Amino acid sequence: MHSKKIQINLAEQSLSLLDSAEVVCRYPISSALNGPGEVEGSGCTPRGLHRIRIKIGAGQPACAVFVGRRATGEIYSPELAENHPQRDWVLCRILWLTGLEPGRNRGGRVDSLRRYIYIHGCPDSEPMGVPRSHGCIRMRNWDLMALFEQVESGMLVDIQEGRDG
């Protein structure tokens, strides 16, 4: 059994790595612009208990670009962004989440895994501490690389609204 787990507080826009309930490290994040919610197509960040289904991107450069969970061989730059303004940039590493609560974040139209909900890196130009994503949890690339080394597939991830929820 893992003594470590990730706790995400949407109200505070923060991610904490806990070891036996003690905070090991805390990072700013950016969750969904559309707020919390579980329904497919909502662009919302799902709440509740999840697990890291798979870790993707070990050994990739800090600004490696991913499309469909595969490294494209591109390295993010402002010029690349200018050439592809429609892309929702997934950079560096991916922690793909699967929901553990049937009817809330697992199965049917609320399945986090099938919604492709990740913790992933993003361009440095994207703000942290404010909701701006399309549903995923965005992190600074260097923060995510540090976190990636401390977590394992199967680890619990608890996504809570925060403030009384």
- The residue extents of the domains of the chain are 4-160
**Residue 88 corresponds to which tokens in the numbers above?**
């929702």
**Global confidence as pTM:** 0.95
pLDDT tens column, 52-103: 999 999 999 999 999 999 999 999 999 999 999 888 899 999 999 999 999 9
- According to DSSP, residue 115 is labeled T
Helices (H), the chain: 78-83, 141-148
pLDDT tens column, 13-31: 999 999 998 999 999 999 9
pLDDT at 163 over 80: no
Neighbours of 125 (CB within 10 A): 9
Rounded Cα distance between 36 and 3, Å, is 27
Dihedral pair phi/psi, residue 146, rounded to 5°: -65, -45
- Superfamily, domain 4-160: L,D-transpeptidase catalytic domain-like (2.40.440.10)
Contact 38, 10 (CB under 8 A): no
Quickly state the pLDDT bin for 162 (edges 50, 70, 90).
confident
